[in-house]
Structure 1
Amino acid sequence: MLPLERQKKILDLLTIREVLKINELTEELDISVDTLRRDINLLAKQGKIEKIYGGIKLAGRFGESSMEERMIDHLGEKEQIARKCCEFIEDGDCIYIDSGSTTYQIAKYIKHRKKLTVITGSIPVIQELINSEVELIIIGGKIRKEEQSVVAYDYIFNFHELNVRRAFICCSGITVERGISDYNLEEAITRKKMIELSKEVYIAADSSKFGKDVMVSIAPLEQIDAIVTDAGLDRGYQAQFKKTATRLVIA
């Protein structure tokens, strides 16, 4: 069986069983563990499946896992990334915190910053900061329940008079060639607008997002000042980013 045929078979099986164990797949496909892992790594990089303990599952809706799953997935790395992002935040700043599981972690470390204003559409960020010293400005728009966020449209997005110093943006895919991308058009529209309005743009993303170019393009690297990620990033990607103007910050 050719690699493409095997990979299609894996996806077909997952649509029926939702979760598959490694030993089940090696028996079903009659291949070695090493061969299976190569197929799994490729499908994971393409955003089609997700690795779980001892097996794999289909990626969530349109390839995007649920907010609840992402809140605990790669949690240690996301906390490290958030702490590193906080090093770029100064007292008195007006910042944007995106609706994502990585950027949410930032909110936990800025509660006592002085004269800090946070713009956000993330309900978890709002809940984290509601009783803090931080001044909150909430994006108006439609509630996206699965993402626990508010997504805005151009006709109600009226933040042009705000002096947004730094934006901390999430994404689902990062490549040198195509920049950052995401699965949801409404989220992408909000992120595009905040990138446009902000003086400095930071992408907060764990290393699993690299090498993926998913459904909706958000911005090319030329519009991104820095990407903050974890130490698990493959050195090959680190070498690629040295050739760009976007700074790669390893937490």
Structure 2
Amino acid sequence: MNERQNDIWSEIQRDGEVKISELKERYAVTDMTIRRDLEKLEALGLVRRTFGGAIPVTLDVSLKERDTVHTDEKARIGKAAAALVGPNEAVFIDGGTTTLQVAKHLAPDSSVTVVTNALNVAAVLLDKGVHTIVAGGTLLEKTGSMIGPIAVATLGSMAFDHIFLGATGITAEHGFSNSNSFEAELKRHAIKRAARVAIVADASKFGERYLHSFAALSEAHVVVTDREPPSPIAEAAEAAGLQIRIAP
């Protein structure tokens, strides 16, 4: 990519979309030049052109790929998060490799009831003898999660003592974010039904920002992670009343 195309791609990542009319004025070029730039970005698989502009292509990384990254950190986070669950609680655990570790570290045959939209989480809990309810819906193949209106409706009649959600990005301004709009929607609905909201994420997620914000920092109670966040996030978390819990 040339310098202008790199700048346009950075703007799309930052703002979620660009408009041809604005770009041509900024760079003092013709409509056709900007269209060729967007065609190049689309050919590289980075964007999808829309009427009058472009938006980023958000690719869901498969669980198999994610499961090979930060494995030790995720296991420690899962163990620390599972310790937050008390007896007889109703818990929601969403899909992801870090939330899977929460399920793996719950006590076997516990008095806890777990609701999940993730098939891998349900399979782990089945082996542990934990009472589990699976939210139905449309299966998202790459992540093994159930999404869409059926999954959302399942949560609509429930109330949770604790929920454990993954996040692909955490910033002070954009809050907790995710690359998939359907997963983000389900997380928003789970938060509405929860007494306590726990975000489980390794430190690589700090400073990352994805298209769909599903909660502000103030909407969660605790982030369970493996390292202290950068100062801007730590200060914003303190101002929002958000606890940062470092897994030992």
Give the TM-score category using the shorter length.
Answer: 0.7 to 0.9
Evaluate the alpha carbon distance shift between residue 247 and residue 140 of structure 1 in structure 2; reply closer, same or farther with a 3 A threshold. Answer: same
Q: List aligned pairs for 1:70-149, cutoff 5 A.
A: 70-149=66-145
For residue 184 of structure 1, the aligned residue among 169, 176, 180 is: 180
5 Å matches for 1:16-95?
62-95=58-91
Q: What amino acid is the match of 1:118?
A: V
Deviant stretches of 4+, over 6 Å: none
In structure 2, runs of 5+ residues without a counterpart are 10-45, 47-56
1:232 deviation in Å?
Answer: 6.1
Contact 2:152/2:189 (<8 A) preserved:
no
Amino acid at match of 1:198: A
Pairing 1:250–2:246 present: yes
Which amino acid is 1:142 matched to? Answer: T
Corresponding residue number in structure 2 for 1:222: 218
Q: Please give the secondary structure, in 2, of the residue aligned with 1:119.
A: strand
Q: What do you get for the CA RMSD once the two structures are aligned?
A: 2.4
Q: Distance in 2 between matches of 1:111 and 1:125?
A: 14
Q: Relative to structure 1, is the Cα distance of residues 7 and 250 closer, same or farther in structure 2, using a 3 angstrom cutoff?
A: farther
Q: Which residue of structure 2 lines up, in the alignment, with residue 150 of structure 1?
A: 146
Distance between the aligned counterparts of 2:6 and 2:145, measured in 1? 33
Partner of 2:49: none
Report the CA distance between 1:203 and its aligned residue: 0.4
TM-score between the two structures when normalised by the length of structure 2: 0.73
- For 2:171, the equivalent position in structure 1 comes to 175
**Mean alpha-carbon deviation: is it higher for 154-163 or for 197-206?**
154-163
One-letter identity of the residue aligned with 1:5: E
**Distance (Å, rounded) in 1 between the aligned partners of 2:101 and 2:5:** 35
Partner of 2:198: 202
2:3 corresponds to which residue? 5
> Conserved in 1, the CA contact under 8 Å of 2:156 and 2:189?
no
Q: Flag structure 1 segments of 5+ consecutive residues without an equivalent.
A: 12-47, 49-60
Tell me the matched-pair count: 199
Contact 1:67 1:147 in 2 (8 A): yes
Change (3 A) 1:223 1:240: closer
- Render the CA deviation track for 1:134-168: whole Å, top value 9, x for unaligned: 11110110011011111131686133443310000
